[in-house]
C-alpha cells in the first residue's frame, strides 16, 4: 500500500510535532505499508531513506519566547495565527512551492491515500493538491484543531472568516484523525465527517505486573521541561508547593524548569521562601538527561481554563517513558487529567490536600491501560483506517 504523508515537521527538526509521523514512519517499515514523506528541509543530520523527501531551503528550528500575558493588539498583529489559524506564512515558502513541484514531477506515481498533517495550513493545501494530482483520497491529521481550537483568540468577523476558510480548505478530506477525545468530538460536530482518535504514544515497554510510582520521600526534585506561557503558567502550582512546605517543614521541594521561557516572568513578583525555583534555560537533549535522572517527580502544565481541555500534549508520552510520577496542574476537565488518572501515573494538584495525598498514597499504574497508549498500538488503529482505502 502506497501512502503519501505531508508533514511540515519531521526529524532532524527538534520540534515536538516532528515525533508523531516519524514514529509511525518507523513502524510502517515493518509492515506492508510504503510511506513517502514530504517534509521541510530541517538543518541537522538527515534520515537516509529514499522515501523521505526534504524539500525547500534548509531551515533552522528557532525557539521563541512565549507570550507572558494575554495577547495584546501588538501580539495579534505580529502573531496572526493567535486569531486566524487557517493562514500561515509558509504558503509563501520554498517548502510549499517545492512540494507542489515535486508532486508535478512525480504525477505518474500511484498512491492509495494522501495523509496531510496540520499545522501549518500549507500542509493541508499541499494535501489538496496531491489529492487532485494523484486522484487519491485525502485524510487530514489534526495534531491541533484549526479554526475551532479552544485557546484561539476569537475576534468577531475574523473568527467567522477563519471557520469559513477552515471548512473550505478541508472540504476534500474523506475523514479526519485527531490526538484527543475532545478534539475528536469538536471536529466531528464541525466537519460532519468521520473522526478517529490516534494518540501520539510512547515506545518503551511497561510490562511489570505491579509498577510502583509511589513517592514516599521528603525531598522532592521536580522537573518541568518544555514551553511556558500565559496558558502554561507555573504560578498556581508553585503557590501550592510554597504553602505546603510552609506548614510541612520536613518536606523539601526543588523545582527545575528546563525551558527557553523564564518561570520568574509568571510568578507576579511573589516571594517564594520555602521552595527552590531554578531556571535552567533551554537544554539540549544530552544536557537534559542529567536532570531527568535526578528528578523523582515530573511536572505537567496546561491551561487552567477549560478552553485548553483538548490539549493532550505529546509531553505526556515523554513523561510516561521516564517512569516517574507526574504532578498535573491544569483544568480539572482536561483530557490530560482523564488520561493521567485513568492510567494512575499521577494526579491533578489543586490544593495542599491534593499534594499531601499524592505524596502519601500508594500508586500502581494500570499496565493494560497504559500499554494501549503505546505507539505500536496507536499505529494498529491507524492501520484499520488505511485498510479502508487499500
18-67 pLDDT per residue, tens: 899 999 999 999 888 999 999 999 999 999 999 999 999 999 877 666 66
168-224 pLDDT per residue, tens: 999 999 999 999 999 999 999 999 999 999 999 888 777 766 678 999 889 999 999
274-300 pLDDT per residue, tens: 999 999 999 988 899 999 999 999 999
Task: Flag whether pLDDT at 77 surpasses 90.
Answer: no
Output the pLDDT for position 15: 81
Q: How does residue 230 score in pLDDT terms, banded at 50, 70 and 90? A: confident
Contacts of 226 (CB under 8 A, 6+ apart): 16, 232, 258, 259, 301, 313, 315
Q: How does residue 83 score in pLDDT terms, banded at 50, 70 and 90? A: confident
Residue percentage of the chain with pLDDT more than 90 = 77
Q: How far is CA 154 from CA 74, 162, 290, in A?
A: 16, 9, 42
d(CA 374, CA 201): 5
Output the pLDDT for position 27: 94
Output the pLDDT for position 365: 85
d(CA 76, CA 87): 13
Task: Cell numbers for 220, please give them.
Answer: 522532592
Output the pLDDT for position 278: 96
pTM (two decimals): 0.92
Q: Is 35 exposed, middle or buried (0-12, 13-18, 19+ CB in 10 A)?
A: buried
Task: Flag whether pLDDT at 137 surpasses 90.
Answer: yes
Virtual torsion, Cα 322, 338, 116, 17, nearest 10 deg: -30
* Mean pLDDT score of the chain: 92
Can you tell me the mean pLDDT for 98-126?
A: 97
Output the pLDDT for position 32: 84
Output the pLDDT for position 366: 78
d(CA 180, CA 166): 19
Amino acid at each position: 500500500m502506497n501512502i503519501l504523508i505531508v508533514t511540515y515537521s519531521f526529524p532532524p527538526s527538534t520540534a515536538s510535532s516532528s515525533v508523531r509521523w516519524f514514529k509511525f514512519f518507523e513502524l510502517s517499515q515493518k509492515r506492508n505499508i510504503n510511506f513517502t514523506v514530504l517534509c521541510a528541509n530541517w538543518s541537522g543530520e538527515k534520515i537516509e531513506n529514499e522515501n523521505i523527501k526534504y524539500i525547500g531551503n534548509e531551515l533552522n528550528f528557532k525557539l521563541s519566547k512565549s507570550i507572558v500575558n494575554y495577547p495584546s493588539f501588538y501580539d495579534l498583529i505580529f502573531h496572526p495565527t493567535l486569531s486566524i489559524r487557517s493562514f500561515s506564512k509558509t504558503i509563501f515558502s520554498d517548502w510549499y512551492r517545492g512540494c507542489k513541484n515535486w508532486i508535478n514531477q512525480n504525477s505518474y506515481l500511484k498512491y492509495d491515500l494522501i495523509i496531510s498533517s496540520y499545522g501549518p495550513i500549507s500542509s493541508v493545501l499541499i494535501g489538496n493538491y496531491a489529492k487532485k494530482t494523484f486522484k487519491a483520497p485525502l485524510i487530514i491529521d489534526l495534531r491541533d484543531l484549526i479554526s475551532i481550537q479552544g485557546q484561539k483568540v476569537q475576534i468577531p468577523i475574523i473568527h467567522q472568516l477563519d471557520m469559513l476558510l477552515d471548512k473550505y480548505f478541508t472540504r476534500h478530506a474523506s475523514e479526519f484523525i485527531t490526538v484527543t477525545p475532545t478534539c475528536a468530538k469538536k471536529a466531528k460536530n464541525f466537519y460532519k465527517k468521520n473522526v478517529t482518535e490516534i494518540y501520539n504514544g510512547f515506545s518503551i515497554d511497561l510490562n511489570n505486573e505491579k509498577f510502583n510510582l509511589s513517592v514516599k520521600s521528603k525531598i522532592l526534585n521536580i522537573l518541568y521541561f518544555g514551553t511556558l506561557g500565559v496558558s502554561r503558567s507555573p504560578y498556581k502550582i508553585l503557590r501550592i508547593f510554597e504553602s505546603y512546605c510552609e506548614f510541612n517543614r520536613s518536606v523539601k521541594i526543588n523545582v527545575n524548569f528546563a525551558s527557553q521561557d523564564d518561570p520568574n516572568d509568571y510568578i507576579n513578583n511573589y516571594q517564594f521562601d520555602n521552595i527552590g525555583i531554578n531556571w535552567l534555560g533551554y537544554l539540549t537533549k544530552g544536557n537534559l538527561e542529567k536532570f531527568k535522572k535526578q528528578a523523582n517527580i515530573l511536572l505537567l502544565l496546561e491551561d487552567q481554563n477549560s478552553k485548553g481541555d483538548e490539549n493532550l500534549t505529546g509531553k505526556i508520552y515523554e513523561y510516561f517513558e521516564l517512569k516517574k510520577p507526574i504532578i498535573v496542574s491544569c483544568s480539572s476537565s482536561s483530557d490530560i487529567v482523564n488520561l493521567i488518572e485513568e492510567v494512575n501515573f499521577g494526579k491533578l494538584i489543586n490544593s495542599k490536600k491534593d499534594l499531601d495525598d499524592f505524596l502519601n498514597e500508594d500508586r500502581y499504574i494500570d499496565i493494560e491501560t497504559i500499554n494501549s497508549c503505546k505507539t505500536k498500538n496507536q499505529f494498529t488503529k491507524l492501520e484499520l483506517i488505511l485498510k479502508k482505502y487499500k
